[in-house]
Amino acid sequence: MTDRETIAADFDQIALCAPEHDGFWNHNNHYHPDMLAALPGKMRLAVDVGCGAGELSRKLAERAERVIGVDISTQMLIAARERSAAYGNIIYIEDDIFNLDIPDGSADAIVAVAVAHHLPFAQFLRWARRKLAVGGVLYIIDINQAQTLADYITGAAAFIPNKFREAAKRRAKRKAGLPPRRTAAGQYVWAEHGEHEEYMTLSAVRAAAEGELPSAKVKRRLYFRYTLLWQA
């Protein structure tokens, strides 16, 4: 697990040099519809862990009375607050998720997209279990380290759909007047961040889930992703 200061510095640079824009496909928001379908129809409180620039927080805000987006990147949260100015029900907090001051049993949804690998995983699962209300849902989308033949086959199966989706995204960005590809600076900061990344294998994710959330559903997904769904 990479230290907090390195992660924060990486994402500060990503926010400045390679900003993501709402509405354009990527490997993470590809699974937002599945996630949103699994969450309660109406929520009092939803917590977006590692919210970044707030794309998912804004989607949650359409169904939740209150959304808390938590991140440790100052620059990501500057972007999130700017883009969420029209949403009066979102609060963004710059802090470690384990310092978030919400009562136990108060959250109807806790979501984490491409951030769980930055956290002590078992501790995060215990924290979520404690903070969720009865009927509340934890939904994690994250990257897994390929280990088994099934992992590599699933990764290969994503090659062609990934090419089509990336081409469609470039066309959509050109139409919107945005550069179709990342700048050299953007490519550099993502590559540098990649050197700091450490991912769990799917078997390790399942073992941790079995120990902390025995009824959790862990699924292998395309794009070297997995999802974890658990209802309190």
The fraction of the chain above a pLDDT of 90, given in percent, is 81
Q: What is the mean pLDDT of residues 58-81?
A: 98
Q: What is the pLDDT of residue 31?
A: 96
Provide CB contacts within 8 A for 129, sequence distance 6+: 138, 212, 213, 230, 232
What pTM value is reported for the model? 0.94
Provide CB contacts within 8 A for 99, sequence distance 6+: none
Q: How many other CB atoms are there within 10 angstroms of residue 212's CB atom? A: 18
Q: Assign 162 to helix, strand or coil.
A: helix
Compare 206 and 192 and report the one with higher pLDDT. 206
Q: What is the pLDDT of residues 121-159, one digit of tens each?
A: 999 999 999 999 999 999 999 999 999 999 999 999 999
Domain ranges of the chain: 4-231
Rounded Cα–Cα distance for residues 229 and 138 (Å): 6
For residue 196, pLDDT beyond 90: no
Please state, rounded to an integer, the average pLDDT across all residues of the chain: 94
Instruction: Answer whether 223's CB lies under 8 Å from 230's CB.
Output: no
Per-residue confidence band for 183, with pLDDT thresholds at 50, 70 and 90: confident
Q: What is the pLDDT of residues 4-56, one digit of tens each?
A: 899 999 999 999 988 888 889 999 999 999 999 999 999 999 999 999 999 99
For residue 111, pLDDT beyond 90: yes
Architecture of domain 4-231: 3-Layer(aba) Sandwich (3.40)
Per-residue confidence band for 1, with pLDDT thresholds at 50, 70 and 90: low
Rounded Cα–Cα distance for residues 137 and 169 (Å): 31
The fraction of the chain above a pLDDT of 70, given in percent, is 99
Tokens describing residue 178: 């945005």
Per-residue confidence band for 182, with pLDDT thresholds at 50, 70 and 90: confident
Q: What is the mean pLDDT of residues 51-71?
A: 98
Rounded Cα–Cα distance for residues 109 and 23 (Å): 22
Tokens describing residue 154: 């699933």
